Amino acid sequence: MGHYYKAVRLVEINTTAWKEENIILVTDLTDEQIKEVITPIVLKERNSNEEYHNDTLCEALREAYPTSVVLDYASDNFDKITI
């Protein structure tokens, strides 16, 4: 019997005009799943004085999809291999 592996991908999520505030995720979630969770949080901040942090968005994804892969990275935290 074969093994089932979820396909994961690297996704950059942009929620502001500032590239340095983008979120980079390794995830098996679809674009639709990500937008479904993140959009209401982002819109709430845009329409009020309530602030969120990228950690808040990532944690919301993990709570909404507890069996999915949701790993967040900052671009300066990538492991580098020099050969």
Q: What is the full per-residue pLDDT of the chain (83 aa) written as tens digits? A: 455 667 899 999 998 878 777 889 999 999 999 999 999 999 988 888 788 888 899 999 999 999 999 998 765 666 777 78
Burial class of residue 70 in the structure, from the number of CB atoms within 10 Å of its CB (0-12 exposed, 13-18 middle, 19+ buried)? buried
AA identity, residue 1: M
Alpha helix locations (H) across the chain? 31-46, 54-64
- The reported pLDDT for the residue numbered 2 is 53
Q: Are 19 and 11 in contact (CB under 8 A)?
A: no
